[in-house]
Amino acid sequence: MKKIVLLTLIATFASALSFAQTGRVGIGTSTPKTKLDVAGAISTSEQAAPAAAALSINANVSLFRIISQVGVQANSVSATAPAEGQLLIIINEDDNDATFASSTVKANGGSNSYIYANSQWRLTGTSQVNSGPQGPTGPKGDTGDNGVAGAQGITGPKGDTGDAGAAGAQGPQGIQGVQGPSGAKGDKGDQGNIGAQGPIGPQGAQGNQGIQGVTGFLQSGTAAGQTPYWNNSNWVIDQNIYNNGGNVGIGTNNPAQGKLWVQGGDIWMTGDNRRLAFTTDNSTDNTPNASITALQNGLSGSSADIIFNTWDGSANTEIMRLRSNGSVGINNNLDTNTNATLSITPKYGNWAEGIEINPHSGGFGAVFFRETANSITNTWFLGKINNHNFGVLRNSLTGMTGTTRADQPFEITTTGNSIFGGNVGIGAATPTHRLEVYGGDNVAYFASSGGNAYIRLAINNDINTRLELANRNGRTALWNANTGDAFNIIHSSGRAGIGTIDPQRKLHINVDNSEYGGLFIGKINDNGDAGSYRIDFPGWRDNNTNPITARIEAKSVWSCCGNYPSGGYPGVRGTDLVFSTNDAWNNVEPIERLRVKQDGNLEWNYNGTDAAMLPASYAIIIPVSATCPTGWGQRDVKWDTADVSNADSGKDGKIAVDDGNSSSVKMRFCVRGTGW
C-alpha cells in the first residue's frame, strides 16, 4: 500500500513539475515554453483587522482588510518590515476613511494598491465602491491665505473677436506728406480778341532832358562784370555778385566751376516742403531726376526731415530720409521705425540685400558694438573672421580672432558648420547644458532624409565610444561599436529584444553558451538581514483588483552562525528558490507550493515556519547522498531493470522503492506521518 501511495505522489509530482533539459521549469505543464512556465493561478493569504485608531500590517502580507466597527475610528495604517518590490492591496469596509503612506483609502468598500519601491510605498491604483449617500453641505470655511502665484501657463488659443469699440476721438493732424509729382503742363489757351483802339490823345509838351543813366543791368560786355542794384536812390555796383558771361559768382569774381559759385557764406531757402532739384536729362518738365527736400515732421516744434528722392524710371521715389532725432531710413519713411537709428528696407535684387560691407584691400568686414567709445574693451564684432569664417567675437582685432571661445562664442565655418562656445538654450533663459531645450509637449523633432535616423553620444570626442539611439524605420535600437544594435523595440508588436533584432516574445534575451546567463536579478553583496528577489505574475479574468496569482522568489534564509545577526555580525545567508501559486478569486498573496532549498533539498506545500504546521503526511526530497533528519523515514527511488530488455541503458525500466542506500538510487524522500 505504501508503494502505491508513493508511486501516486511521484506521478503527481512529475505531472505538476517539469524540468526540461533546456533549463526551463514548468508547473502544471510538461512543455515549459520559457524559463518558468506556470499553468494555473497563484493565491495569497489575507490579514484582516477591526477598524481602530492605529492598524499594523504584518510582514510579508499583500492583502489587508479593515473590518467595519461602530463609532469613529482614525484607521491610521502602517506596514511592518516591507520588502523592495512588495505589492500590497488595502480594502476598507469601515464607515471611516483610512490613511496609509500619505494616501486615503475611502470608506465603505474603497481599495488602494501599492508597491514598495526605492524604500517607500507608492500608490499604483485606487477605487471607490458602495459609497453611501452624500451628506449635507457643511458650512463654508474661512477664506484661506492666498497661495504662491503659479508659473505663467502656456498662451491659450486666440479668443473670438470682440465687439467693435466705440469710435475714438480724432487724433491730431499728421505731418504733411511728401509732395507728389507735378501734373503735366496744360495746353496753351486760345488767344483773346483784339480790343478796339482808343482815340489818340493830344500831344503833350516836350519835357526837360534827363541825366545820363549808369551802365545797363547785367551787361555782358564790361571788363569787370559787376552787377548793379538800385538802393532806392542810386544804382550801386555790387562787388559780391559777379557775372563772367556764363557763370555767376557770389563772394568771388572768379566763378571757375559751375554755373553758380558761392564762397564765404550760406545759402538759405525759406518755406516748408522746399527742394533743391536736379534734372539730368535736360528735360523742361516739373519732375526732376533727383531732389533734396526739407519737410517739417511734426515731432517737436518746427523740426524737419531731409528727404532724398530719385527718379527710378517710373516715379519720383524717396530713397533716404534723415530725421531730426538722428534716425536714418533707407527705402522707408520711418513712420513705423521711429525708434531705430538705422532702418533699412531692401528693395532690389533676388536676395533683397539690405546691407553690404566690403573689406578694404582684403581685410575683414565687420559691424562693431562698443561698450566704450573708441575702446576695444568689451567690444563685440559681427562679421567675417579668420579663414573666411563668419562669427561673433569680442576683445580682439588681430585677425578678427577671439583669444578664447568665450571671446568667440559663435562661428560659422567655410564648410557651413556652426560652432557655439557656450551653452545654447532654446526656450531656456539660463541653460546649464551645452544644449537645453524647454517648451511644451512637442519639445523637439528630428528627422532624416534616409531610411534611418539616429542620435549619437560619445565620450571625449571619440567616435569609437559612441552610443546611438536609432529609429530603424519600424524598430527603435540602442547601438554601440562593440555589439551593434544591442537593444531593440519593435514598433508594431511592442516586443523588446536584447541581443536580437527579431524578438519572439515581449522580452527576448538572446544569449549563447559562451555567456553566463541572460538575466541577472538582485543586488550584488546585499548585506540586508531579510527580503527576497521575485518575479510576479498577475491572474487572468480576476475577480479582485490586480491579484498576483503566481510568483517565483529567491528568498534569503540563514545558512549558519546560530542566532546571528548579533553583536554587529550579520551572519551568513543563503538562498532558497520558492514557487508560489494562488487563484485570483480570493485576492490574497500567492501560497508557497514548492521550495528548492539552499542545501539541494526539495519541499512542497510547506510554509517554512514550524514543523507542527505541516500536514499529517509530508515528504521532502533530498540529495541521494544525504541522510534524512531525525524522526523522518527514508524512501529511495531507483530503476528496477530485472524485467526490461535494455537493462544496460537504464531506460524504460520499472520504478522500485526500498528503504536502503543503493548506488542505483535516483531520488531520495524523507517522509513523516502515516501512509508511506
pLDDT, tens digit, for every residue of 305-333? 899 989 877 888 888 898 888 888 888 88
Which residues make Cβ contacts (< 8 Å) with residue 501, sequence separation at least 6?
A: 472, 475, 477, 485, 488
DSSP string computed for 276-301: EEE-SS---SS--SEEEEEEE-SSST
In a domain, 371, yes or no: yes
**Same domain, residue pair 112 and 55:** yes
**Same domain, residue pair 293 and 240:** no
Beta strand pairing status for 103-105 and 424-426? unpaired
Cβ distance 638 to 656 under 8 Å? yes
**Same domain, residue pair 308 and 375:** no
Which pLDDT score is estimated for 91? 92
Decide: helix, strand or coil at residue 121.
strand
In a domain, 649, yes or no: yes
**Same domain, residue pair 341 and 391:** no
In a domain, 164, yes or no: no
pLDDT tens track for 463-508: 888 899 999 999 999 999 888 998 899 999 999 998 899 999 998 9
Which pLDDT score is estimated for 613? 38
**Same domain, residue pair 279 and 261:** no
H or E, element range at 2: helix 2-16
Residue burial 194-217, b: 16+ Cβ < 10 Å; e: rest: eeeeeeeeeeeeeeeeeeeeeeee
Which pLDDT score is estimated for 552? 92
**Same domain, residue pair 88 and 21:** no
**Same domain, residue pair 637 and 669:** yes
In a domain, 561, yes or no: no
Question: Which segments in the chain show pLDDT lower than 50?
Answer: 1-14, 214-223, 607-614, 643-653, 659, 661-663
In a domain, 476, yes or no: yes
What is the rounded distance in angstroms from the CA atom of residue 501 to the CA atom of residue 508?
10
Residue 370 sits in which domain range? Answer: 366-420
H or E, element range at 497: strand 496-498
**Residue 481 DSSP symbol:** T
Among 302, 318, 347, residue at a domain's last position: 347
In a domain, 326, yes or no: yes
Domains held by the chain: number: 7
In a domain, 402, yes or no: yes
Decide: helix, strand or coil at residue 11.
helix
Which residues make Cβ contacts (< 8 Å) with residue 661, sequence separation at least 6?
A: 636
583 closest CA partner among 629, 537, 618: 537
β-partners of residue 243 are 248
In a domain, 236, yes or no: yes
Which pLDDT score is estimated for 584? 64
Which residues make Cβ contacts (< 8 Å) with residue 520, sequence separation at least 6?
A: none
Which pLDDT score is estimated for 64? 92
What is the rounded distance in angstroms from the CA atom of residue 255 to the CA atom of residue 262?
8
